[in-house]
Structure 1
């Protein structure tokens, strides 16, 4: 309704909510803002038959807009973290190569350390498209086939369509035959034909 066709980059692989919103928006294709508006109104009326768009919604105690009021279509945004509160994963996500490198070289951080969700630094670097950081982590012996809930580094790189990172991972020994938690190969989680082709060729080569 507000922006027309999907006009934002695909969200992070680990941003599950934002990714679902983005995919739903993308799936609308060339729907016009007017058509989207009509479908939105029909959906709201179905969920709340008593809703009347002519009656303005009252703000709650905390100033939030009630059901039926304005809807902001915003993709996932991470909250700002104070410098003193950052951990190694925060520096990795923001592509602070110098900090991450020094932490690993000084032995303060294990290159294969994982966060509370089991995601390694390499997973986050692949997810964010930080090719140079991915290369640095691999040079410091990051486990290219390390898995989190049966998810290898190839999956986020493939899903977010980072061709050059997928290529780098494969050259570094990434296994394209590993399945994710839903039983899918990395080639099955991407819409990029070039990445799918490269993964399939690599798989055939291993066979």
Structure 2
């Protein structure tokens, strides 16, 4: 029985990149054995950028953190949730989502969902957490005011594992933004694998 259960679990993630299969395994443990103790967060190498000559370029940094007027704050509940995700205040964001789960599928003043922000920041755990919410998964390819989807942000910020998780969750790789760029095109240009 135990062997069959393990085979069924691994068979469900057949074809997934190894990082996503590991994430699915950890999520299954969290769900079915909540008292298990992890050795820490999943180690990701996506924070290291390679120039092609083996020299690390350091982590990719979001350009969204440098945009706009710092006094232009979105005071709406959705805006506050997005700000917490953008600032890396993950526990506070989870508390907000527990109090008001509908916020997960609401856009901020710029038309961005919490999933846009989590994808841009490369927060694999938050992206995974959000995708477990049916309304979020249904809007995995929602475009912001500039036509960018969460997958655009993951690719532009060079977060390959997050991008792959979005694709495995149904994100459309061929949606063009206002500049006519698709995630597939940006990934090719940046040397990222989406599948």
| TM-score (structure 1 length as normaliser) | 0.53
Return the offset for 1:119. 1.0
Return the offset for 1:15. 5.0
Deviations 1:65-107 (A, max 9, x none): xxxxxxxxxxx9x79x9xxxx9212211122222222222222
- List aligned pairs for 1:1-207, cutoff 5 A: 9-14=59-64, 87-107=80-100, 110-141=103-134, 142=136, 143-149=139-145, 150-190=147-187, 191-195=189-193, 198=194
Higher-Rg structure is 1
Deviations 1:9-46 (A, max 9, x none): 443143576xxxxxxxxxxxxxxxxxxxxxxxxxxxxx
1: CA distance, partners of 2:153 / 2:132: 20
| Runs of 4 or more above 6 Å deviation | none
Mean CA deviation greater in 138-147 or 176-185: 138-147
Unpaired runs of 5+ in structure 1?
Answer: 1-6, 18-75, 203-207
Unpaired runs of 5+ in structure 2?
Answer: 1-56, 74-78
- Structure 2 residue matching 1:111: 3-state secondary structure: helix
Conserved? CA contact 2:81–2:103, under 8 Å: no
Aligned length: 128
Conserved? CA contact 1:103–1:109, under 8 Å: no
CA RMSD of aligned residues (A): 2.9
Bigger share in helix: 2
Conserved? CA contact 1:129–1:157, under 8 Å: yes
1: CA distance, partners of 2:96 / 2:121: 20
